[in-house]
Structure 1
Amino acid sequence: MKISCNFDAGSIEVVSITGFDDIQLRIRKDNASDFAQWFYFRLQGAAYETCKLRFLNLNETAYPYSWDGYQAVASYDRVNWFRVPTHVEGNELIIEHAPLADSVYYAYFEPYSHEQHLNLIGMAQSSGLCQVSDLGSTVQQRDINLLTVGHEVESDLKVWITARQHPGETMAEWFVEGLITRLLDTQDPTSRALLDRATFYIVPNMNPDGSVLGNLRTNAAGANLNREWLNPSVETSPEVFHVRNKMLETGVDLFLDIHGDETIPYIFVAGTEGVPSYDERVAKLEDKFKHLLRLSSPDFQDEHGYDKDAPGAANLSMATAWVGEQFKCLAYTLEMPFKDNDNLPDDDYGWNGQRSLRLGEATLSAIYGILQELR
């Protein structure tokens, strides 16, 4: 029996393997910070054995209160992922599973590899409708790519979408894959109508380094990118530095920052109620967008989510708050669950990549519905 994680986004610490019923593990911290929550590893040599995998350090994880109701994911081929029985006992997360093959992978959520990321960029460029540009390099010299879809004329509305500032929130890039695939479909009337009036600027992965390193929340320098927007550093948060500069160049009429939430088992958005410039116009735009997104996707809801910021209390180092204040525009953080959507639960798969992808597709309909009111 063997456990390994020396691959893209792999992350685990092995404490001991004394038998199939006592595999002891620890969830590893991000490479340069104390955030710990993401895991992804391969187990070999345990086919048809009832395995008990014990994660011993829940009290050291970033969100120790989030594990109740959580089910880990597993795959034999890294394409088809399913949920496996998982529960909490004291300070331990326990997976009990009898794999049907000698090689099986377990992960915190369905991964989205760097190779998939590069393939997504290649697919978008090959459509003939998308321009791929390089904004700069990450701490570890990976590319920060921007996908631009549209005519880029001054009269176009400017729609910005960023994803995966927190690299372990892989559902965010699944979301972008769905959105951009539909946007590039020349037979889709919604996409054609959108591109008649808007240019889309999309960053599918804001944090390539953290993604490859198997981090939950930070880049290679240990920076939480969604706390860097007020004063980014080219040394420690170049990802935000370069994307922000491009936004200042193009302007922004609508901004969506795509994330995943460890605790709340629903799809929801968080807006800009706490920024100084928040006014009745933006409030009406927020309400209409939420209404349109509910119509576009029954997965979305607006009853459960984060507490709203008090007036003037927004953290302007966060992307949505900084963009909303800087451009006086509709700006939302969209959150998807690591667990399941309790409004439409799926015992076999929970919330997963394909459901995230479908939500990305549906979101284009909501954007189309709000477009004419953005200016």
Structure 2
Amino acid sequence: MGSTGHGWQQGPGHKPNPPGVVEQTPCQGRLAPSTQPWRFPGKPQAPFSLPAPRWPVECEVIQETIEHIEWVPPKPEPFCPPMGLEQELYTLGEEQGTVVYHSSPALQGSCFTRARVGGAPGPLSSPAAPLEGPQDTTLLFESRFESGNLQKAIKVGPYEYVLTLRPDLYTAKHMQWFYFRVQNTRREPLYRFTIVNMAKPKSLYGQGLQPLLYSQQDAQSRGIGWRRMGTDVCYYRGSAGEPPMFRLSWTVRFPHDGDTCFFASCYPYTYSDLQRYLRALAADPARSRYCAVQALCHSLAGNTVYLLTITSPGGTAGKRVVVASARVHPGESGGSWAMRGFLDFLLSAHADARLLRRLFVFKVVPMLNPDGVVVGNSRCSLAGRDPNRAYGMALPGSFPGVWHLRAMVQRVLAEREVLLYCDFHGHSRKNNVFMYGCDAGGDGTGTRLRQRVFPLMLSKNAPNKFSFSSCKFQVQKSREGTGRVSMWRLGVSHSYTLEVAFSGSTLGERRSSHFSVEDLESLGRLLCDTLLDFCDPAPAKFQQCLLEADALLQQQMGREPGSGGSWSDVSPSELESSTSGSDSSVSDGIPDDFHSPDRPMEPHRRKRLQRQRARNSLRRTNRSLTSFPAGTRRHPVLPGVQSGGGSAREKLKASSSVTFPRAAGAGNVPRAIAGEVSVADSGVALPRAPEAGNGRCATTGRHQLNNGTSAVTHHRPPLSSCRRGATSDYSRDPAVGAIPGPSWQRGRRRPQDRAHPLTVPAVASRCSACARQ
């Protein structure tokens, strides 16, 4: 799997719609919500070609095609010995060396204006200094390919280079992802590279993480792909200015003379990689029967944001929905590899995969931020902001991917239950795999413990990779705009962020070893296995995890095990020793010109109100502007969940630990999923699929219930917002023909970019909960 750089072409280069893909006409990246009904899998799709990636016109793109083979090392790659903080002996800069590569987009303004296939028109510049002869040992750098990021290289010694990363486009920060090529290598010397403008104060590079290296000669002659290489790796603070910059330094010996090599911070997975995967999927008669590919929307640059619907052919009555997404942060490529493993397993012939397709409808968005992935951003889209802070804003013109994903979930919730939402991410500061959930406090004990059951089950299925102790569940104010919290507010009771470390594991047999591509892909299969465990009709697993979650909280609070008590009145901050686990930088917030005019701007300094009447008026105004659909709980509680449950904990051993069997190799017999099984005396209700009645397995096999030990209850989903006469925050007045937007979206010019107006065509308005996809 590799990345592809496309040369510039005349015209926009947008190809016709491929067979099997429903694609709507992009209007500078904006797409009106589809009025077509759901397209469920059925007949096999014909092979098709997909349009080439579109780049901002400021970006130069080389015409060479960059491809990488996939390879798994024969044994786990260990962490390198961590180095102490390096003392800066001298100031590294241009005055100490020679600039040998300098490639920076010639940004004509402070915001995105237009895009085309291949980026900037016309001949390419030459950012690399030419070699003076065959004896010149200077490395030749290049990063103007898909997902590449390197802005400048300075030669400060015979084999020492100082590197500068390019900030995310239309920003001045978020320098963390790197991916670049070097040529003219020598085998014998020890090279040293120092990236001088990393943005984050902490990194796994200080805990044994090594950069990735890819040798083209090794790939062609020995079949070896990306591998961990580098010694004397250290991460330390560099400049003393504000904001402070941090440095990553490592030494390496190249395997061959005259080789072409690549360095990357994590296994690259580009937009072209995703398109090749979808092309192979459509060409496979077996897998394409279960998967329909659609265009959820188009990005600002006009790249398609794909939506995959996976389920068994036939009717969908009674099926619940599972929603998954990845790559809202483009520099977190490990999430794409985990997503690919998730899709591979769901579309396989495995018995558990067939059962999952028979019981659920999977709505999957494998790449939410294709623009950021194409240009090699670390965190932002072409709006110059973090899309994972924009779910709560009515900004379809600025963040089309997350807006349409949220609207799609609203439409699904109007018709059926969404059992689970999972957003795949990567983490650069914490090892292992872990999850962030949603617990804002105020709910009953059973509900709060249920939030922790799915991650705890996943930790049992992946004991060598997943760390439950690293999971966090507090909903912080700065995370209100994330996909995880937004979906939870809509009514998806089990909404999670899956974080995959850039480095590896510190657990069990995999202790102190890096993750390989195979490890990352296995997480997708383990997630599917955990979904079946979570919905198992037999109550033992679920009940045991509830007891273990309660015991862990008791231990964390310093209470005696088995002491009981309610967690209803305990704040989430008290249940977690640290709330700084997120890899997110401090949210920039939404700039003033991105706010909709119908949403009042919060003043920087709020005047204190003296009259009670004024305070009540302000509260009514704020309530009317919230984006929660009518009838949706702010803190969702699943039907059948009650607080308490102390009697069940007294009957079972809270200290016992259960390791669940993995799907691969353990079960060729499909598992059954029964619906909401009320466990006597436990105070909780176990999830189940509505089709496996009477508390029994739908098929014979690994999981069965004793007759008469459980009672089955059925719950109808709550009324949708449209049935209650409410409209979405995104479309307040159905009579209006366009969604109101900021002034620059209505044809006016941005205050900071008078020379480049950006207009947005009218978007048909409709109730987001009613409009079908």
The alignment status of 1:51 with 2:195, answered yes or no, reads no
The alignment status of 1:258 with 2:424, answered yes or no, reads yes
Residue-by-residue CA offset, 1:122-159 (whole Å, 9 max, x unaligned): 23333121000111100110001011101572411100
| Structure 1 stretches lacking a partner, 5+ long | none
Superposition TM-score, scaled by structure 1 size: 0.91
Tell me the residue number matched to 2:517: 353
Residue-by-residue CA offset, 1:161-208 (whole Å, 9 max, x unaligned): 01111011001110011011111112x111111112101111111111
Tell me the residue number matched to 1:147: 308
How far apart, in 2, do the equivalents of 1:98 and 1:314 lie?
43
Higher strand share: 1
Within 5 Å, which residues of 2 pair with 1:260-279?
A: 260-274=426-440, 279=444
Residue from 483, 494, 506 that aligns with 1:342: 506
Residue from 75, 85, 103 that aligns with 2:214: 75
SS in 1 for 2:496: strand
The alignment status of 1:293 with 2:450, answered yes or no, reads no
Superposition TM-score, scaled by structure 2 size: 0.45
Tell me the residue number matched to 2:490: 326
How far apart, in 2, do the equivalents of 1:173 and 1:7 lie?
19
Residues 174/123 of structure 1: CA separation in 2 closer, same or farther (3 Å cut): same
Residue-by-residue CA offset, 1:63-109 (whole Å, 9 max, x unaligned): 12224223211112487211122223552311211111311100111
Shift in Å at residue 275 of structure 1?
Answer: 7.3
CA RMSD of the aligned region, Å? 2.1
- 1:221·1:236 contact (CA, 8 Å) conserved in 2? yes
How far apart, in 2, do the equivalents of 1:87 and 1:166 lie?
25
Residue from 357, 377, 383 that aligns with 1:195: 357
SS in 2 for 1:271: strand
How far apart, in 2, do the equivalents of 1:149 and 1:80 lie?
31
- 1:275·1:316 contact (CA, 8 Å) conserved in 2? no
Matched letter for residue 36 of structure 1: M
Tell me the residue number matched to 2:331: 168
SS in 2 for 1:10: coil
Shift in Å at residue 361 of structure 1?
Answer: 1.2
Deviates more, 1:174-183 or 1:333-342: 333-342
| Structure 2 stretches lacking a partner, 5+ long | 1-138, 239-246, 536-674, 676-686, 689-714, 716-773
How far apart, in 2, do the equivalents of 1:280 and 1:88 lie?
43
Tell me the residue number matched to 1:88: 235
- 1:124·1:180 contact (CA, 8 Å) conserved in 2? no
Within 5 Å, which residues of 2 pair with 1:86-165?
A: 86-88=233-235, 90-91=237-238, 92-101=247-256, 102-125=259-282, 126=284, 127=287, 128-151=289-312, 153-165=316-328
- 1:121·1:147 contact (CA, 8 Å) conserved in 2? no
Residue from 168, 176, 192 that aligns with 1:37: 176
How far apart, in 2, do the equivalents of 1:137 and 1:289 lie?
33
- 1:282·1:330 contact (CA, 8 Å) conserved in 2? no
Residues 30/314 of structure 1: CA separation in 2 closer, same or farther (3 Å cut): closer
SS in 2 for 1:175: helix
Residues 205/292 of structure 1: CA separation in 2 closer, same or farther (3 Å cut): same
Shift in Å at residue 288 of structure 1?
Answer: 2.5
Tell me the residue number matched to 2:556: none
Matched letter for residue 96 of structure 1: T
Shift in Å at residue 47 of structure 1?
Answer: 2.9
- 2:201·2:237 contact (CA, 8 Å) conserved in 1? no
Residues 82/20 of structure 1: CA separation in 2 closer, same or farther (3 Å cut): farther
Deviates more, 1:326-335 or 1:64-73: 64-73
How far apart, in 1, do the equivalents of 2:531 and 2:399 lie?
29
SS in 1 for 2:250: strand
How far apart, in 2, do the equivalents of 1:89 and 1:249 lie?
48
Shift in Å at residue 304 of structure 1?
Answer: 2.1
Residues 363/80 of structure 1: CA separation in 2 closer, same or farther (3 Å cut): same
Tell me the residue number matched to 2:697: none
Residues 227/89 of structure 1: CA separation in 2 closer, same or farther (3 Å cut): closer
Tell me the residue number matched to 2:97: none
Higher helix share: 1
How far apart, in 1, do the equivalents of 2:202 and 2:140 lie?
30
How far apart, in 2, do the equivalents of 1:44 and 1:56 lie?
21
Residues 281/199 of structure 1: CA separation in 2 closer, same or farther (3 Å cut): farther
The alignment status of 1:185 with 2:348, answered yes or no, reads yes
How far apart, in 1, do the equivalents of 2:499 and 2:444 lie?
23
Tell me the residue number matched to 2:81: none
Matched letter for residue 43 of structure 1: V
Residues 29/196 of structure 1: CA separation in 2 closer, same or farther (3 Å cut): same
Shift in Å at residue 113 of structure 1?
Answer: 1.7
Shift in Å at residue 27 of structure 1?
Answer: 2.1
SS in 2 for 1:215: coil
Matched letter for residue 97 of structure 1: V
The alignment status of 1:233 with 2:378, answered yes or no, reads no
SS in 1 for 2:194: strand
How far apart, in 2, do the equivalents of 1:115 and 1:170 lie?
13
Equivalences, count: 366
SS in 2 for 1:200: strand
SS in 2 for 1:245: helix
The alignment status of 1:247 with 2:384, answered yes or no, reads no
SS in 1 for 2:362: strand
- 2:181·2:262 contact (CA, 8 Å) conserved in 1? yes
Deviates more, 1:205-214 or 1:88-97: 88-97
Matched letter for residue 518 of structure 2: Q
Residues 190/279 of structure 1: CA separation in 2 closer, same or farther (3 Å cut): farther
Residue-by-residue CA offset, 1:231-287 (whole Å, 9 max, x unaligned): 1412210111111111111122210111111101121111011277x5545434333
Tell me the residue number matched to 1:7: 145
The alignment status of 1:283 with 2:448, answered yes or no, reads yes
Residues 221/313 of structure 1: CA separation in 2 closer, same or farther (3 Å cut): closer
Who wins on radius of gyration, i.e. which is larger? 2
Shift in Å at residue 13 of structure 1?
Answer: 2.0
Tell me the residue number matched to 1:303: 469
Residues 124/346 of structure 1: CA separation in 2 closer, same or farther (3 Å cut): farther
